[in-house]
Amino acid sequence: MAEPKIGKNTGNAGKGRPKGSPNKATAAIKDMIVQALDQAGGVEYLHTQSIANPTAFLTLVGKVLPLQLSGDPDNPIIQEIRRTVVRP
């Protein structure tokens, strides 16, 4: 088994894409999706899809929204949550 190289001549280790930089293919695909959405009608198209296909639309919303919301503790986003049980 070969021993790892030590010193200046360590090969190509660490010479890849910097951490956090977007993949060129991913960026190109996102750009194409945005262009297609614009050609389909943009906001109006998304509104139509939210009514016609609510499950798919809400899946999209879930993928776009951030996973965590942070806010000012003195000015909370949610003031009160109230649950009422109604018997049929």
The pLDDT score that the predictor gives to residue 74 is 81
More confident residue, 53 or 27: 53
More confident residue, 32 or 20: 32
Is the pLDDT confidence value at 54 over 90?
yes
Per-domain boundaries in the chain: 22-53
Task: Kindly state the average pLDDT of the residues 42-68.
Answer: 89
Burial (CB count within 10 angstroms: exposed 0-12, middle 13-18, buried 19+), residue 76: exposed
> What SS3 state is found at 4?
coil
Distance of CA 52 to the CA centre of its chain: 23
Q: What is the pLDDT of residues 24-45, one digit of tens each?
A: 888 889 899 999 999 999 999 9
**To the nearest 5 percent, what fractions of the chain are helix, strand and coil?**
45, 0, 55
| 8 A C-beta contact, residue 5 and residue 11 | yes
Is the pLDDT confidence value at 7 over 90?
no
More confident residue, 14 or 35: 35
